[in-house]
């Protein structure tokens, strides 16, 4: 493939795409109204291109992407499900998209009501009492949650310093804990890939502010002792936080509020079908039990009869964690999804996600090591460890999958599985797609036996061949 030009290389002096409204007031000369030292003297070197240039450039870039509308995107813990098109349409309704965030509340009742109702819906789904819709992503929800934990303990005059995190957790968990000023203490998973309640006891003390669990965990396994774990942490005066990234497995099946969770974030861009946008925007609402309500970030959306308003008079609040109210445009899409699913549809989504994962696992069990076998929930983890003897790493398998038209699963995560392949098919994939994927992995398995070099040289049919990521880190070139 020939290298693609950057938009800067396509720039030609004198070309332009913009048209702007005519100047209908007297022209103000910057030199006349601004101190000379504050004025830009050299125009920024933005590209000079026409609109057709822009259309070609970005459309040609777009087709280089793998994406959900094209084929399976089985990234574990990312829940790359289909994104209903209607969500895009309703988010673009001008009564939402053209609302300024600082308009008087009386002029934004629709937006407030949507935020309020989606929040109540999330409380029902999770069995929790209250919610903030502000966090802009899962990790933002985690940080907010940890700030709530801190506020809760400080309000009780207790200074705790540690947060317990299983070794299978998402990387954002310990990072969020650190930013909130806590020490992250790793606890080891047991031979079943779960937290062992008895061994947890040795970690508990008056220093422990909270435990951060993921349920189902990143191995796709339900934490069977979750109630006991929560009880032990509560007895020690700590709180239980749940990373809700994997909530897709639990919709209508089991509720965090019913198994001892005090705080949980949800990922609307995973469980509630809003698109990932190539890395965002997401949305990470936080649901809490009522004892955490006083600390929620401002503003909270409240309701009085048929009127909705922002509530700021919460003196114990952790304050503001987003300039405005979070990623409202994402809330619209999630709300539309929930309206169309109803209780039955949500339960069916979770059931089908679990069926799809178990079906795929049963198809792959013969060809790959399954370090923690048994029924899984929405995802499962394989190990490519036994392929190392042929010189093939999991990274090679991932790259070879691209030649069969698939996006690879999450690889080398969770960290507790060597050569991990973490697979989450989601409920929106058909049986035929799962069969094709299993067949591709089966053929790669055969290739590892017969011609490992072929696998190690993959991919061959992608827009670019294997990318030298080491060189990118060595010779830093991050702007043109």
Partner 1 sequence: MVYIPRTEQEKTEMLRVIGVKTFDDLLADVPEDLRLERELDLPPPLSEFEAKTALRNLASMSLDPDEWTCFLGGGAYDHYIPSIVDHISSRSEFYTAYTPYQPEVSQGTLQSIFEFQSLITRLTGMDISNASLYDGGTAIAEAVLMANAVNGRKHVIVSGCINPLRLAVLEAYLGSSGFKISVTGREGGATDPEEVRSLAGEDTCCVVLENPNFFGVVENGKPIGDIAQTSGALFIVSVDPISLGLLKPPSEYGADVVVGEGQSLGNSLSFGGACLGFIATRSQHIRRLPGRIVGRTVDADGNRCFCLTLQTREQHIRRERATSNICTNQALLALRATVYLCWLGKHGIAEVANLCLSKTVYAHRQLLDAGFSPRFTGPFFKEFTIKMPVDAATVVERLAGQRIAPGIPLGRFYENETETLLIAFTEKRTKAEIDELVLALKNAAGKGRGGS
Please, which of residues 440-459 interact with partner 1 by CB under 8 A? 457, 459
Structure tokens given for 420: 């991990």
Interface segment toward partner 1; rule CB under 8 A; list 44-52, 231-239, 417-425, 446-454? 44-52
**Minimum distance of partner 1 from residue 244's CB (angstroms):** 14
355 binds partner 1 (CB under 8 A): yes
Which residues, 408 to 437, sit near partner 1 by CB under 8 A? 408, 410, 413, 427-431
Cis peptide before 131 (omega within 30 of 0): no
335 binds partner 1 (CB under 8 A): yes
Give CA separation, 456 vs 30, 39, 195, 398, 440, in Å: 60, 55, 36, 10, 16
For residues 393 and 385, give the distance between their C-alpha atoms in angstroms, rounded to a whole number. Answer: 8
Which residues, 124 to 143, sit near partner 1 by CB under 8 A? 124-125, 136-140, 142-143
Cis peptide before 459 (omega within 30 of 0): yes
Considering the complex, state which of residue 99 and residue 204 has its C-beta at the smaller distance from partner 1: 99
Interface segment toward partner 1; rule CB under 8 A; list 70-78, 195-203, 386-394, 444-452? 70-78
276 binds partner 1 (CB under 8 A): yes
Structure tokens given for 458: 């993959």
Interface segment toward partner 1; rule CB under 8 A; list 287-295, 313-321, 381-389, 446-454? 313-321
**Minimum distance of partner 1 from residue 453's CB (angstroms):** 13
Question: The dihedral of CA 401, 402, 407, 413: what is its sign?
Answer: positive
**Minimum distance of partner 1 from residue 457's CB (angstroms):** 7
- Judged by CB under 8 A, the residue of 159, 320, 388, 391 near partner 1 is 320
**Minimum distance of partner 1 from residue 419's CB (angstroms):** 16
191 binds partner 1 (CB under 8 A): no
Instruction: Identify whether the C-beta of residue 352 lies closer than 8 Å to the C-beta of residue 430.
Output: no
Q: Which residue has the tokens 């125009």?
A: 43
Considering the complex, state which of residue 124 and residue 449 has its C-beta at the smaller distance from partner 1: 124
- Judged by CB under 8 A, the residue of 72, 164, 177, 232 near partner 1 is 177
**Minimum distance of partner 1 from residue 110's CB (angstroms):** 3
Give CA separation, 457 vs 148, 176, 399, in Å: 49, 38, 9
Interface segment toward partner 1; rule CB under 8 A; list 177-185, 286-294, 381-389, 441-449? 177-185
- Judged by CB under 8 A, the residue of 160, 162, 203, 255 near partner 1 is 255
Judge residue 468's burial from the number of C-beta atoms within 10 Å of its C-beta, 0-12 exposed, 13-18 middle, 19 or more buried. Answer: exposed
**Minimum distance of partner 1 from residue 312's CB (angstroms):** 9
Which residues, 196 to 215, sit near partner 1 by CB under 8 A? none
268 binds partner 1 (CB under 8 A): no
Q: Give the pairing type, strands 239-244 and 208-214.
A: parallel
Which residues, 105 to 124, sit near partner 1 by CB under 8 A? 106-111, 113-114, 121, 124
For residues 286 and 265, give the distance between their C-alpha atoms in angstroms, rounded to a whole number. Answer: 4
Structure tokens given for 134: 């502000």
For residues 299 and 287, give the distance between their C-alpha atoms in angstroms, rounded to a whole number. Answer: 15
Which SS3 state, helix, strand or coil, does residue 214 take?
strand
For residues 331 and 127, give the distance between their C-alpha atoms in angstroms, rounded to a whole number. Answer: 19
Considering the complex, state which of residue 63 and residue 389 has its C-beta at the smaller distance from partner 1: 63
64 binds partner 1 (CB under 8 A): yes
Instruction: Identify whether the C-beta of residue 352 lies closer than 8 Å to the C-beta of residue 427.
Output: yes
304 binds partner 1 (CB under 8 A): no
Phi-psi category of 16—alpha, beta or left, where left has phi over 0 and alpha has psi -120 to 50? beta
For residues 394 and 399, give the distance between their C-alpha atoms in angstroms, rounded to a whole number. Answer: 9
- The secondary element (H helix, E strand) that includes residue 162 is strand 162-166
Which residues, 12 to 41, sit near partner 1 by CB under 8 A? 15-18, 20-21, 23-28, 30, 33-35, 37-41
Interface segment toward partner 1; rule CB under 8 A; list 97-105, 197-205, 232-240, 443-451? 97-105
């Amino acid at each position: 493939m020939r290298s693609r030009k950057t938009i800067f290389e396509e720039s030609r002096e004198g070309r332009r795409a913009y048209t702007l409204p005519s100047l209908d007031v007297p022209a103000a000369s910057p030199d006349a109204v601004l101190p000379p030292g504050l004025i830009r003297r050299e125009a920024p070197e933005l590209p000079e291109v026409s609109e057709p240039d822009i259309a070609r450039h970005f459309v040609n870039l777009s087709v280089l992407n793998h994406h959900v509308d094209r084929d399976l995107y089985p990234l574990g813990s990312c829940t790359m499900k289909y994104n209903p098109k209607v969500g895009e349409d309703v988010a673009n309704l001008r009564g939402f998209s053209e609302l300024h965030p600082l308009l008087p509340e009386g002029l934004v009742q629709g937006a407030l009501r949507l935020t309020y109702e989606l929040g109540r819906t999330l409380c029902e789904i999770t069995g929790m009492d209250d919610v903030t819709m502000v966090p802009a992503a899962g990790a933002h929800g985690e940080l907010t949650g940890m700030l709530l934990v801190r506020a809760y303990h400080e309000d009780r005059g207790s200074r705790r310093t540690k947060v317990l995190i299983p070794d299978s957790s998402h990387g954002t968990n310990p990072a969020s804990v650190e930013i909130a000023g806590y020490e992250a203490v790793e606890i080891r998973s047991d031979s079943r890939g779960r937290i062992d309640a008895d061994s947890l006891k040795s970690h508990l003390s008056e220093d422990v502010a909270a435990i951060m669990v993921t349920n189902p965990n990143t191995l796709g396994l339900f934490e069977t002792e979750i109630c006991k774990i929560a009880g032990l942490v509560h007895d020690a005066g700590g709180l239980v936080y749940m990373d809700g990234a994997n909530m897709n497995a639990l919709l209508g099946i089991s509720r965090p509020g019913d198994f001892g969770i005090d705080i949980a974030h949800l990922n609307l861009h995973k469980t509630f079908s809003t698109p990932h946008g190539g890395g965002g925007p997401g949305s990470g609402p936080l649901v809490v039990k009522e004892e955490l309500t006083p600390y929620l970030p401002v503003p909270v959306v409240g309701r009085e009869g048929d009127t909705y308003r922002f509530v700021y008079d919460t003196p114990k609040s952790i304050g503001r964690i987003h300039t405005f109210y979070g990623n409202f445009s994402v809330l619209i899409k999630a709300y539309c999804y929930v309206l169309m699913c109803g209780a039955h549809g949500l339960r069916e989504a979770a059931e089908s996600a679990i069926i799809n994962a178990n079906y795929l696992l049963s198809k792959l069990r013969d060809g790959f090591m399954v370090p923690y076998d048994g029924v899984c929930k929405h995802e499962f983890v394989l190990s490519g460890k036994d392929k190392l003897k042929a010189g093939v790493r999991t990274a090679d398998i991932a790259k070879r999958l691209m030649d069969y038209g698939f996006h690879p699963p999450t690889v080398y995560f969770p960290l507790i599985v060597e050569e991990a392949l973490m697979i989450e098919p989601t409920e929106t994939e058909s049986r035929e797609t799962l069969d094709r994927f299993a067949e591709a992995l089966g053929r790669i398995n055969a290739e590892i036996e017969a011609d490992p070099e072929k696998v190690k040289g993959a991919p061959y049919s992608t827009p670019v061949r294997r990318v030298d990521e080491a060189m990118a880190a060595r010779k830093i070139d991050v702007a043109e």
